[in-house]
Amino acid sequence: MIVNKKTHQQKRADFRSALNSGKLLEFPGAYNPMVAKMVEHYGFDGVYCSGAVMANSLGLPDIGLTSISEVTQFAGNISKVTSLPTIMDVDTGFGEVMNVVRTIQEVENAGVAGCHLEDQVNPKRCGHLDGKQLVSKEEMIKKIKAAADSRNDDNFLLIARTDARGVEGFDASVDRAKAYIDAGADMIFPEAMKSLKEFEAFRKAISAPLLANMTEFGKSRLLTKKELENLGYNLVIYPVTTQRLAMFGVEKGLNAIKESGSADSVLDIMQTRSRLYDVLGYSQYNNFDKNLYNFKLNKNQ
């Protein structure tokens, strides 16, 4: 229905239990709440809200232009339609230490199960681009300590992302990760590892739970679920995958309409009306008002 009945606290507690199971958890990205419903339908473990996707949804590049209110509303709208836990990207925390405190409180109140905070200088860059700049390790430690202390729900997962691999090198990324764990981070997100061997070496060096970012067209090879499981990673995100799939279809469809004057040639790559209504649970609304769902659709509609 409109809002999922599982409480925010229950989703966070279930998420913590799943992390302790030793299973690799898969979190595809969602660019709107309908996609989150599809993620749940296909049996994934959670939903991810990418900072890049949240910016792109506003027609903006991923360079720190979004506001805390914009991303909180985006992630909150996704979180409330699914029983799955939602984790989100909060970039650099939208400011200094005090801003980070407010950020954690706002996203927690929105129903999100966890978030990741990164050690880039603002304005930040996409993690798989060159030219990134980092804040000092000491400054990031202050942010993580403040974030950890500001949680109201101890099950809210605080993930520290380090972009040090592409700036200071692999050893520095490990050093920062260890410091971030000591500061109170529950999980580490090592961004832009360059090979399977680096993913493996990072796992051996860090005892805390690890997040792997399997974003397409980046600096990391797309490792399979089995490979990540064998390496001992705890969570994998596919941050922009659904947006890339959708936008490719949109471009193909718009081009077809422009060339032929009709969408008839691309009907086979469209979601049907009946499938859309199925995803939305349209028939369930009939329990409240018999006038809302009093029609039939055939499978081709």
Provide the annotated active-site residues.
Answer: 48, 62, 89, 91, 116, 118, 126, 161, 191, 213
Compute the distance between CA of residue 19 and CA of residue 23 in angstroms, rounded to an integer: 7
Give one DSSP letter per residue of 27-69, joined into a string: EEB-SSHHHHHHHHHTT-S-EEE-HHHHHHTTT--SSS---HH
CA 243 to chain centre: 12
- Residue ranges of alpha helices (H) inside 206-283 are 225-231, 241-260, 273-280
β-strand partners of 88? 49, 115
Residues 6+ apart with CB under 8 A from 116: 87, 88, 89, 90, 159, 160, 161, 187, 189, 211
Instruction: Return the structure tokens found at 231.
Output: 């390496």
* Cis, peptide link before residue 123, omega less than 30° from 0: yes
β-strand partners of 187? 159
Compute the distance between CA of residue 65 and CA of residue 88 in angstroms, rounded to an integer: 16
Residue 139: closest CA among 198, 103, 95, 81: 95
- Residue ranges of alpha helices (H) inside 167-211 are 170-183, 196-205
3-state SS, residue 134:
strand
